[in-house]
Chain A
Amino acid sequence: MNILAMWVQPQALAKAPQGADSSLSLALWFLLMRSVTSTKWFNQQDWQHDYPQVNWRQPSPGDGVRMLLQTVWNCFFYAHFSIADWRLYRHWLLIKQTFSWLLRGAFWPLQLGVKWVDRVAERPVPKAKRWQQKNRIINTSLTLVLALLAALCLTVPFTWQAQAVFVLILMFLGGLINRIAGRLPNMLLIVLSLTASCRYIWWRYTSTINWDKELDLVLGLILLAAESYSWVIIVLGYVQNIWPLNRKPVPLPEDATTWPSIDLFIPTYNEDLEVVRATVVAALGVDWPKDKLNIYILDDGKRDSFEAFAKQFNVGYFRRPTNEHAKAGNINYALKHTKGEYVAIFDCDHIPTRAFFQVTMGAFLKDKKLALVQTPHHFFSPDPFEKNLSNFRDVPNEGNLFYGLVQDGNDTWDAAFFCGSCAVLKRAPLMEVGGIAVETVTEDAHTALKMHRLGYHSAYLKQPVSAGLATDSLSAHIGQRIRWARGMAQIFRLDNPILGKGLKWNQRVCYANAMLHFLSGIPRLIFLLAPLGFLLLDAYIIYAPAIALFLYVLPHMFHANITNSRIQGEYRHSFWGEIYETVLAWYIAVPTTVALFAPHKGSFNVTAKGGLIEGSFFDWAISRPFIILIFLNLSGAVWGIWRLFALPEGLVGSLVINLFWTLYNLLILGGALAVAAETKQVRASHRIAVDLPATVALDSGHLYAVRMLDFSFGGLRVSKPNGVLFGLGDKVNIVLQKVTETATFACEVTFVNEKFLGLKLLPMTVEKEIDYIQSTFTRADTWSVWQQAYEVDKPMASLSSVLVIGVTGYRSLYRFSPAVIRWPMLQLSNLVQWCWSYMPRIQITRG
């Protein structure tokens, strides 16, 4: 087509005759010229390639126009275009590369300096009293000077120009510091972010409230309260996570006779026996002297099948006469009837690896005041977000931030708290606080708070030494979070960490942050509805010109984003937190408010785990609040757009800003909707992906070396050896490795294709079951890829994927809508598609 473009003068087109017939014949003339000037014979493929929007098998009436438009386009624009060939783009890439190379060279001595500082900071502090005293004087005086400077810097009012310059310098510095690796840049970025955010909040308090109009005042103050809440959370979060401890396991002494006795509790209420079975079998296989480990099933469901199961597997069984205080009461009852020095608590679906006690118990023997060692809750099945958004193992899940970073940060300040499962507690401190706390529904955090008040220490080991089932459906997930939120609000009200004695200031900060985090329901709702105040009610909630908004809000958001991305990048990708919070906001708003004012109201609801979702469905009940919010935002957006075009100028800046905010809210709400579209769960047992060697042994005496690709409670999948035939129902044996030995299991073939073999385990003895769990679930290396599989956060990519999820949410809303709504939308989308088919295309270069 280039030949034609060069050959035919564009002026010829300008003199084109009028009338449809002539334009059609012109198109035909061009086509003729095209086929004549091409270097090879034209076939249908060429036509399809040059005019991709035309379906040559089913020509339709508008095709002539389409071809004409495409031909005209090709005359003026370079047809074979790819951005990688564009000279300007190549130059830009080169400039970027040179710039980054120069920066790296310039920063190299700085990087070395930062590394040195980090190393010095990791050294343990000398305990000499005189050193401490001298330092205290220096520290206090420096802090005072700093506080004065900060007060000055944060409150001095700037003109727009000065603020713009200040902000640009800050952003430039932030970008530069972000390039240096290490912990010191984290702290510097926190300082910059605090500067921007504190200036922002000061400005909001002093200059943006409209005292004249009542509606503006009320709404403005509400928004200001929500923003203050956010600011407090940001600041406390920085303090909490400024230096994650990364504690390493302490080795146990060689002599096993000095090791203490442990009671392992597995509380259960209404879960299936299947779920508890694997946990019990895994517990039987944990490495610890058998005479020092007592396993107990605490059955609140009073089921005989569980009692029989406990007897068969030779583990303890407790059935208390009453059911008060749910899990806390259950554990307290068992505490009264057992004697072990330490108590390990596992939820009925959390499987410990063999190395659990080897890794955790050493710390107790080293620190006599240690009362708790907590390990992460790692899930081998996807939670509702990962399942319904299909990002399992691509994007870190919601719990990853807490167990990867927040608890680690808490650990630095000795404020790591008990999370209810996968932890070891020392009996003496536990009995001193009266057993597990029963006053609130989040009994685990409350117990840890009580132990901290008495001066005991806690530890958090970020080793994935156990794994469990995540909540299955969105409703179960929300139910669990409501319970946590209510419980935390209750603790905040009944046993406030900021007041009360026994805690150090940093412990107070960490606990306060944990509890305040759960009060985010109402502020999040306020943020979702805030732009409507201006769009629908014409109230100036933020009484400031648009330029001021840019100069104060943007740096605040920019710095918060890059600092959080830097600190949390491995554990949570940017903007995903918005979706998690939005989904929960409506549901935790009311329970937390009720709990703050009337802590003893409300009931404890147990989290449902391990169910099979029969078909895919859209959880309308759960998504009703989102739809209401979407409707409100949509009406605000529509009204705002109308005002933009219909009403006089002067408001454009604020309107545009509010419209963008509304659009962002709509997309986040769409993301929340996407989670409500539950996908069908294909199989009852969850599969864990691995890549381990195994052997398939046939009864004929043949053995084949294969790779085990995934396993579950009931079976596994292996690679199929080449050239060997398997039929469905064949009996084979699978040989798995168990550290130094191998174990053989009888299986039946349930699935065959060229690459894979699906095997179902046949019924086996108790010993064999223990062997299987030890060869698969409780191998210490099965979970060692936890957190390493995630890519580091890239904020812009993360933002775009979150926004895409938002669009997906609307699509699934549409998909599950009743026909009366679907029909007009379908016609609309058909119309849009028809119009789009007339657009000329850029042709893809053929290879």
Chain B
Amino acid sequence: MTRVLVKGITSGVGATTIAANLTYALNASGRTTAVVDLDPRNILGMWFGQNEADPNGWVYAELTQQSWMLGGYVSPQGVRFFPFGDLFQLPSDIERLPWSNLIESLLQRVLPAMLTALSREYEFVVLSFPAMFNAKLLSKIKAFADTVLTVIHCDPVSFSLLRRPSNQAELADSFVVANQCSVFHQIQQDLLLLNQGAFAQRFISTKIHFDIAVQEALTSMTSVVEYSPNAQASHDFRALATWLVANASKQTQSS
């Protein structure tokens, strides 16, 4: 019954990738998992085999048929996923609200009920949160989540954003996981070493390496955990899932 929110420090760091592969890894370790895409770019579905031409998703279904449940699918591996939906393909008779208003109303109306219903059925619910949303929205959604993972790259931009004073408030209760770490470049090692000290408790020791197998898996519309179990990235995602499970049980024990 743990809700995990995965967001990136900025866009393009691979938050959706982590959310999708983490879901697969949790599923493979025997925990029932569902994943919900909160990103209007609607790219989560690709990871689970949704047809590219299919515009359906939980927001799409909610807007067209007033039921978010019709926007959910089950992947061939048995993972429950809820794509956002391609809002550019909404029928013309549906009213197009401005983004922020739409999201705000959905958050108040739909998301609590959805999460409650999913939590009843699934041990883990992963939420993939886009970087484009503002801090106010983030803080509202964070209220629903038990664990927050902030994804970064091992590059100067990510670390600069990580250290920015204005970001400290929202990073206060979040864990940081490094994605796409290269084994060949010393600068990334040095940056990690430098910053791990500042964020000692929050930095997850498992980092996700840059492995081309992840992109190859996506072109086969599945996760690297299924596609190439030997890959270092699969190993890393499995380790991340294990950490998450241990952390969740620690949280339930302390609360």
Q: Could you list which residues of chain A lie within 8 angstroms of chain B, going by C-beta atoms?
A: 695, 697, 700-705, 721-724, 733, 735, 740-742, 744
Contacts and interface: CB of A to CB of B under 8 A. Distances in A.
Contact of A704 (B192, B193, B232): B232
B209 A695 contact: yes
- Which of the four size classes fits the interface of chain B? 10 to 19
A741 B233 CA distance: 17
B184 A703 contact: no
Given A695-B232, A700-B212, A703-B231, A733 B189 contact: no
Contact of B213 (A695, A702, A735, A742): A702
Contacts of A724: 230
Nearest to A724: B230
Given A721-B230, A724-B230, A733 B183 contact: yes
Nearest to A705: B235
B90 to A, nearest CB: 39
Given A704-B230, A735-B183, A741 B189 contact: yes
Contacts of A744: 183-184
Contacts of A740: 193, 196
Nearest to A698: B212
A733 B183 CA distance: 9
A744 B234 CA distance: 20
Contacts of B231: 702-705
Given A697-B184, A741-B193, A705 B212 contact: no
A697 B183 contact: yes
Contacts of A700: 212
30 contacts: A695-B183, A695-B232, A697-B183, A701-B210, A701-B212, A701-B213, A702-B212, A702-B231, A703-B209, A703-B211, A703-B231, A703-B232, A703-B233, A704-B230, A704-B231, A705-B230, A705-B232, A705-B234, A705-B235, A721-B230, A722-B230, A723-B230, A724-B230, A733-B183, A735-B183, A740-B196, A741-B189, A742-B183, A744-B183, A744-B184
Interface in B99-119: none
Interface of B: 183-184, 189, 192-193, 196, 209-213, 228, 230-235
A722 B230 CA distance: 7
A702 B193 contact: no
Nearest to A721: B230
Contacts of A703: 183, 209-211, 213, 231-233
A722 B235 CA distance: 14
Nearest to B238: A705
Contacts of B193: 740-741
A397 B213 CA distance: 47
B21 to A, nearest CB: 14
Contacts of A722: 230
Contacts of A742: 183, 189
A611 B196 CA distance: 46
A702 B209 CA distance: 10
Contacts of A702: 211-213, 228, 231
A627 to B, nearest CB: 56
A703 B189 CA distance: 17
A704 B183 CA distance: 12
B94 to A, nearest CB: 43
Nearest to B215: A701
Contacts of A705: 230-232, 234-235
Contacts of A741: 189, 192-193
A740 B195 CA distance: 12
Given A702-B213, A742-B189, A733 B230 contact: no
A702 B233 CA distance: 9
A741 B210 CA distance: 16
A363 B164 CA distance: 45
3 tightest A-B contacts by CB? A701-B212, A703-B232, A705-B235
A733 B182 CA distance: 12
Nearest to B205: A740
Contacts of A695: 183, 209, 232
A703 B192 CA distance: 20
A722 B231 CA distance: 10
A733 B184 contact: yes
A697 B234 CA distance: 14
A721 B193 CA distance: 29
A701 B215 CA distance: 10
Contacts of B212: 700-702
A223 B28 CA distance: 74
Nearest to A696: B232
A367 B156 CA distance: 48
A813 B192 CA distance: 62
A7 B189 CA distance: 83
Among B183, B184, B209, chain A packs the most CB atoms within 10 A around the CB of B183
Nearest to A738: B189
A387 to B, nearest CB: 36
Nearest to B181: A742
Given A695-B209, A702-B211, 9 more contacts: A697-B232, A701-B213, A702-B213, A703-B183, A703-B231, A705-B230, A705-B232, A723-B230, A733-B183
Contacts of A697: 183-184, 232
A741 B211 CA distance: 18
Contacts of A723: 230
A169 B213 CA distance: 74
A757 to B, nearest CB: 13
A704 B228 CA distance: 9
Among A702, A733, A742, A744, chain B packs the most CB atoms within 10 A around the CB of A702
Nearest to A701: B212
A795 B231 CA distance: 49
A259 B193 CA distance: 25
Among A705, A721, A722, A724, chain B packs the most CB atoms within 10 A around the CB of A705
B142 to A, nearest CB: 30
Contacts of B234: 705
A150 B233 CA distance: 73
A742 B189 CA distance: 8
Among B193, B196, B232, chain A packs the most CB atoms within 10 A around the CB of B232
B211 to A, nearest CB: 5
A723 B210 CA distance: 20
Nearest to A703: B232
A612 to B, nearest CB: 34
